């Protein structure tokens, strides 16, 4: 307790710096994966993908990031175990942020697509076991999160498979694919706008003082969906069939892919929003716990308010991380697992976005990396297992396994260093 009151300002500054570092790592690694499908399918350039991601990642973190934050903050460690030792909680959360951020920096430099959720959960468990004891970990909550790492890629993969099969049936396997693409793409656009709006209105705006009834949310989301359709139709009108393009590429679907390239602007925005709403918790959840303890003079609360500046710091860190270092790992998801076109990339992105947004609404901190890889695998399987690069898939799975113990090990190291420095 004396340590907290004596060094309150310094601890707060360090915690904010570590939280920003962690958010930067999320932007550099996880967001790059989330946007990789758009770049890999050539629907967007790297600069366009970064521009879209910065806007919608920040919006998702700020507008809909509160639900998952509470799960990370108070769900993994038993608050009763730290009632009498708030200084341990502060050191442990700071060590967790620094450890997870360090691991993400290492992974990003090497070009490995790892899970930020794995990183922070492993870090929190490592701190709890060594600092508080084995019983301090809420193993039931940890096991439910671990289960989500299996459920989320399977769910996203199934949704991506079904979405791509619907595109195949409604557009690709028809007599006039270009005409049918223009007919059905607005329906997919409406789904994107409605789904993102609905979750934001029903779950994400509570911490900024806006509470809508379910009926009001449905009405507003429908209007937003129709607005997205109107914008999409305006953009689609500018695309005319180009026979020379089909002859040049040798594909009768070349013009169809141009239509779906427009749609991917919307699915990329949805994926960025979904990612920001879910993964900002990995950076600001521990930071919110530290701020709560320091501002209350050492009281460990089971639930605390989430200051707006913390959401801004998390969203800003994610955006800067993507802009400065995201190019390193963007190619892995977009090019190396399976060959992506705008039709396939659309199905993968929308399925992953739906899965992540639903998880964010229920407060379950799933891994966006797992979800997106599952979605890309689902799209690849729709063309047969031979369409997948199994060697790359295997190396990605190995990097996932390494992440959890790496996060835990680094946290233990940083925890003892911080405790030694501050006595």
| Domains of the chain, residue spans | 2-161+266-422
Coil, strand or helix: which one is 343?
A: helix
Task: Quick: pLDDT tens for 95-121.
Answer: 999 999 999 999 888 777 788 878 888
Provide the pLDDT confidence category of residue 412 given band limits of 50, 70 and 90.
very high
Segment 64-82 mean pLDDT: 62
State pTM to two decimals.
0.79
Contact 11, 4 (CB under 8 A): yes
Comparing 9 with 271, which gets the higher pLDDT?
9
* 281, 22 contact by CB (below 8 A): no
Mean pLDDT of 226-243: 87
What is the pLDDT at residue 367?
74
In this prediction, residues 83-93 reach a mean pLDDT of: 81
Banded model confidence at residue 25, pLDDT cuts 50, 70, 90: very high
pLDDT at 1: 59
- 122 vs 353 pLDDT, higher one: 122
Q: 409: pLDDT confidence band, cut at 50, 70 and 90? A: very high
DSSP 264-310: HHHHHHHHHHHHHHHHHHHHHHHHHHHHHHHHTTS---SS----HHH
Q: Closest Cα to residue 66, out of 182, 209, 252?
A: 209
Residue 137: predicted pLDDT: 82
pLDDT at 266: 82
Query: Can you tell me whether residue 137 is helix, strand or coil?
Result: strand
Tell whether the model's pLDDT for residue 13 goes beyond 90. yes
Task: Quote the tokens at residue 186.
Answer: 């607005």
- Highest mean predicted confidence (pLDDT) among 179-183, 202-206, 391-395: 179-183
- Listed in sequence order, the residues at least 6 apart from 45 whose beta carbon sits closer than 8 Å to its beta carbon are 39
Phi and psi at 178, nearest 5°, equal: -65, -45
> Burial of 24 by CB count in 10 Å (0-12 exposed, 13-18 middle, 19+ buried)?
buried
Instruction: State how far the Cα of 413 lies from the Cα of 113, in Å rounded to an integer.
Output: 24
Is the pLDDT reported for residue 300 higher than 80? no
pLDDT digits (tens, 9 = 90+) for 39-65: 877 888 888 888 888 888 888 777 766
Q: Is the pLDDT of residue 208 over 60?
A: no
pLDDT tens-digit series, residues 385-400: 767 777 777 877 788 7
- For 167-171, the CB contacts below 8 A with 24+ separation are 167/260, 167/343, 167/346, 167/347, 168/382, 171/256, 171/343
pLDDT over 70 (residue 207):
no
Q: Say whether pLDDT at 305 is over 70.
A: no
Range with the poorest average pLDDT among 238-252, 355-369, 409-423? 355-369
Structure tokens at 283: 């950076």
Least confident of 20-29, 52-61, 143-152: 143-152
Please give the share of the chain, as a percent, with pLDDT higher than 90: 13
- Among 82-86, 109-113, 314-318, 355-359, top mean pLDDT goes to 314-318
Count CB neighbours of 48 within 10 A: 15
Q: What angle do CA 367, 371, 373 make, to 5 degrees?
A: 115
End-to-end CA distance of the chain: 12
Q: Is the pLDDT of residue 331 over 90?
A: no
The contacts found for 231-234 with CB under 8 angstroms, 24 or more apart, are: 232/185, 232/186, 232/189, 232/262, 232/263, 232/266, 233/186
- Average pLDDT of the chain to the nearest whole number: 81
């Amino acid at each position: 307790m004396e340590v907290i009151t004596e060094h309150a300002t310094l601890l707060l500054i360090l915690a904010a710096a570590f939280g920003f570092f962690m958010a930067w790592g999320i932007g550099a690694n996880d967001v790059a994966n989330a946007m990789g499908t758009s770049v890999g399918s050539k629907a967007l350039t790297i600069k366009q993908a970064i521009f879209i991601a910065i806007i919608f990642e920040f919006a998702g973190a700020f507008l809909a990031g509160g639900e998952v934050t509470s799960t990370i903050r108070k769900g993994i460690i038993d608050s009763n175990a730290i009632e009498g030792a708030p200084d341990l909680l502060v050191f442990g959360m700071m060590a967790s942020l620094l450890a997870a951020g360090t691991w993400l920096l290492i992974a990003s430099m090497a070009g490995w697509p790892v899970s930020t959720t794995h990183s922070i959960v492993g870090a929190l468990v490592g701190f709890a076991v060594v600092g508080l004891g084995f019983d301090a970990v809420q193993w039931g909550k940890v096991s439910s999160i671990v289960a989500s790492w299996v459920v989320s890629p399977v769910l996203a993969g199934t949704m991506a498979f079904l979405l791509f099969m619907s595109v195949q049936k409604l557009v690709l396997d028809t007599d006039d694919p270009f005409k049918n693409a223009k007919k059905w793409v607005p329906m997919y656009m409406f789904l994107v706008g409605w789904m993102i709006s609905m979750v934001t209105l029903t779950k994400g705006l509570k911490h900024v003082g806006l509470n809508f009834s379910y009926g009001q949310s449905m009405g507003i989301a429908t209007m937003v969906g129709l607005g997205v359709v109107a914008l999409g139709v305006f953009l689609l009108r500018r695309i005319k069939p180009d026979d020379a393009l089909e002859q040049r590429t040798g594909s009768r679907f070349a013009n169809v892919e141009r239509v779906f390239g427009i749609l991917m602007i919307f699915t990329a925005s949805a994926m960025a929003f979904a990612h920001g709403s879910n993964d900002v918790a990995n950076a600001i959840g521990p930071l919110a716990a530290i701020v709560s303890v320091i501002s209350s003079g050492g009281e460990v609360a089971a639930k605390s308010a989430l200051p707006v500046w913390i959401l801004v710091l998390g969203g800003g860190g994610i955006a800067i991380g993507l802009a400065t270092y995201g190019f390193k790992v963007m190619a892995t998801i977009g090019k190396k697992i399976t060959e992506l076109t705008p039709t396939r990339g659309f199905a993968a992105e929308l399925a992953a976005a739906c899965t992540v947004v639903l998880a964010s609404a229920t407060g379950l901190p799933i891994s966006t990396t797992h979800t997106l890889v599952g979605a890309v695998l689902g799209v690849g399987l729709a063309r047969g297992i031979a369409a997948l690069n199994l060697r790359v898939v295997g190396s990605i799975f190995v990097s996932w396994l390494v992440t959890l113990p790496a996060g835990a090990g680094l946290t233990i190291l940083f925890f003892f260093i911080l405790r030694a420095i501050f006595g």
